[in-house]
Chains A and B, each alone.
Chain A
């Protein structure tokens, strides 16, 4: 597969998902980029904006296995990873895989589970494997966690620790649809669209194609000047006086991986600063921690990232 074929497949996947999830093209693209870049996605948005639908449509389009985990305060780590139970016939313990053993895992309302349960995802997200009963078990490839969280509810929630946040490649914001888009959604439902029945979606690619696309993206050329630009952006988050904790080098690497996929999706075999800039907010917004004073002043992480993008010089020859 070359970059042109990559772009064609990417566009087909995007179109198919966007036909189901109306008016969320940027969200769909972010999800695809993160998947191909072997990253995980944190979706933040109010209930009822189609987050679950997006994940399911994505799984069907990519021909991958899909599991959904509803995070609750009493959810235990073993409810995610699975556990060994005694098989009376065999007279021995056998491992029953949990819902984490799927290629697309939707962790719904992830911030409702306690930190202990959330951390059960850490190993899976970082290493693509799960350790249970002293045995490490490999997760199927590709493996993508799509976690959702509600920004407006704080009671009974457990904020994700920074270490876990850093493991999400991107944090995508699910915005309310515009009036026209909402009208289209309602029209579709009026015409019989059933979000629980997505059988009409046929896979555009299979899991192996996704893996191959990841490999193609990794071959995309990145110039030193572009690397320098990525690093500059990330370093500026550490120097910003309104940011308590800046992004880690993992953010620079995330920028690199995402920008490569974006470049390949446009049929290029090289990354431009434009690719980096387009992915910067999704990659950096959950990796920076604002000063309390700045938060009290109503400053958001996106504001500071916008400012960084506005002031950081772009590498160019002339």
Chain B
């Protein structure tokens, strides 16, 4: 009877109490009001204009934040229309045609290469066209100074050799009694040394006099001048220097080679302008962010929140696809916004495995954006809603905190919110009298509001509950927004929203509590500590690493995987096949050891050879022969010793051919005019003479005397 009487009375009272508690939890406290009354945050007062898409998504918060008129105004501005590119439409036809043409050229080119390669292979099998091996020992142009300097064939030395090698060779020649040749080598060593020091530039077309005039350094020029005169006198005046003179020149050359002095060259205006331009661009910022502006979708509040609470949040140190072993001692919890950081399949797979092996993940973003494999694993796992001790929070609001002592471990863990400062605190006093014996200054130092960072919130999230056991992290529509999922031996804290960690969401004093709760659940509650300033900080058990936009894509650890990731699997196979064909056609030949050639002339020689082949193919025999003859004559004259005047005779002598026969076909070749009508024998003569010159090129020079 008594119960029956009390029930109708207590029921409404309980309902009123519940509603009252709920109302209290959603009411704006005086501290919160004070926080709202503060100056507007940068993103509120000076938002970027126009807003980007991710910033515009947060416009729902603008109307609920005080002092955010500028943000609201930015949200009301119409979205800028994309540029009108319709005028480009006619170009599409042209572009398509060009594309087809390029593709056609590419295909033809590939087939042509294959055709040439096959023909080359067939030709290579013909023994009659295999060039005879010269069997001549080649003297390398650049020698190791440490190795004993081999005595070269006369005239085989070029100015391209190293100065110390030339010097060693000159010494050897002098010791052998060949003073004239040694003198030339001493000059060559000196000039080469000055080239290496930057005083002049060696070139085959430069005379000794030009080298001398090029030396601006008075001392070096004075040293080289007598040597140049002596060498010219010996080479062109047939007046040989004595052995003593040569020895003296040797000492001069040695001093030049050993001299540490180098030419001081002023940087060119262009070279100086480059770094200046780079610096100017750097200073201009190249369109960098306006620091005075604040982005609603930025993370400044999040960074402030975590740093003030002693949490360590850093950018992800490893790609998501290659996270370190989660069971290791220093393994970090990972924070991932699935909307911001899309994952490829491999990364999704690797992340799922990482979580199953014991990893701890804070996954935010709309559930439709969650990684598929991970979502599948979570669906099959145990899920429990997340709760925040709202009652304790509610009790602590506006209450003073007893000053904890440095080094003291707080007795228990409580979230404290006073509307202006958000932090994890402990030692909440139920009765202020307990702290009467504390020093006044120490007590004041424990006031969190005085050193607080100004964290605001947003009411889209609610926390607090009228009844224990009801999930607290809910969205404005009342749906559960967060949950704790166990996957294997790891955990995933999910949040079905992507906005919580943005400036706009954290601007409301209550939302940071949710954010901190999620972080602490994901990363594990660490041991609380009292800092020197008396503020208790609750670091998490693990550090937290936040994924960036690009971390969801597996990095190109090697070029092959990068190409595969780019969808170039089939082209890669094609390229491999073509490469194999080209290798068997050309690469195999190039892979053989070949004697060194004059590097400075090789490109030109190849150019001439390629042109000759082209003309021969096009039946331009006279042009091919005439061009080759000029080239060959130049090459031969460059090699010929001074006592030789007839290139044909020299060629025959060097290659062991019949001088009369060579003289005849050489005359025919050199008399050929490019514009003359073809006689039909041009290519045959070319094919007869060209291999001889090739053999000669790979042999060291000799004198005829």
- On A, residues with C-beta under 8 Å from B are 221, 223-228, 232, 239, 268-274, 277-278, 309-318
Partner of B210, one of A225, A274, A317: A274
From 137 to 183 in chain B, residues with beta carbon under 8 angstroms from any chain A beta carbon are 155, 157-159, 166, 180-181
Complex CA–CA separation, A227 to B637 (angstroms): 12
Partner of A270, one of B159, B209, B237, B638: B237
Tell me if B77 counts as interface (CB < 8 A to partner A).
no
Tell me if B76 counts as interface (CB < 8 A to partner A).
no
Tell me if B634 counts as interface (CB < 8 A to partner A).
yes
- Excluding A228-B645, A268-B232, A274-B207, 4 further A-B contacts by CB distance (< 8 Å) are A224-B645, A227-B645, A316-B208, A318-B166
Tell me if B643 counts as interface (CB < 8 A to partner A).
yes
B residues within 8 A CB of A272?
207-209, 232, 236
Closest to B185 in A: A318
B residues within 8 A CB of A312?
205
- Show 25 residue pairs from A and B whose CB-CB distance is below 8 angstroms, ordered by the A residue: A224-B644, A225-B236, A226-B236, A227-B645, A228-B645, A232-B634, A239-B630, A268-B232, A268-B237, A270-B233, A270-B238, A272-B207, A272-B208, A272-B209, A272-B232, A278-B209, A310-B205, A312-B205, A313-B634, A313-B637, A316-B208, A317-B180, A317-B184, A318-B166, A318-B181
**Residue with the greatest number of chain A CB neighbours at <10 A, chosen from B188, B206, B207, B630:** B207
Are the CB atoms of B208 and A274 closer together than 8 Å?
yes
Given the interface pairs A309-B205, A313-B204, the reply to whether A318 lies near B157 with Cβ below 8 Å is yes
A residues within 8 A CB of B157?
318
Are the CB atoms of B205 and A311 closer together than 8 Å?
yes
Partner of A314, one of B180, B188, B205, B644: B205
**Residue with the greatest number of chain B CB neighbours at <10 A, chosen from A239, A277, A278, A318:** A318
B residues within 8 A CB of A278?
209
Tell me if B187 counts as interface (CB < 8 A to partner A).
yes
Complex CA–CA separation, A270 to B209 (angstroms): 14
Chain B min CB distance to A166 (Å) = 22
Partner of B238, one of A223, A268, A277, A317: A223
Interface size grouping (class) on chain B = 35 or more
Are the CB atoms of A317 and B207 closer together than 8 Å?
no
B residues within 8 A CB of A274?
207-210, 232
Complex CA–CA separation, A289 to B237 (angstroms): 35
Closest to A232 in B: B637
Chain A min CB distance to B252 (Å) = 16
**Residue with the greatest number of chain B CB neighbours at <10 A, chosen from A277, A311, A315:** A315
B residues within 8 A CB of A269?
237
Chain A min CB distance to B235 (Å) = 5
Chain B min CB distance to A252 (Å) = 14
- For B630-648 the 0/1 string (1 means CB < 8 A from A) is 1000100110101111000
Closest to A317 in B: B184
B residues within 8 A CB of A277?
207, 209-210
Are the CB atoms of A318 and B155 closer together than 8 Å?
yes
Chain B min CB distance to A56 (Å) = 32
B residues within 8 A CB of A268?
232-233, 237
B residues within 8 A CB of A225?
235-236, 642
Are the CB atoms of A223 and B204 closer together than 8 Å?
no
Given the interface pairs A228-B645, A317-B642, the reply to whether A273 lies near B207 with Cβ below 8 Å is yes
Are the CB atoms of B205 and A318 closer together than 8 Å?
no
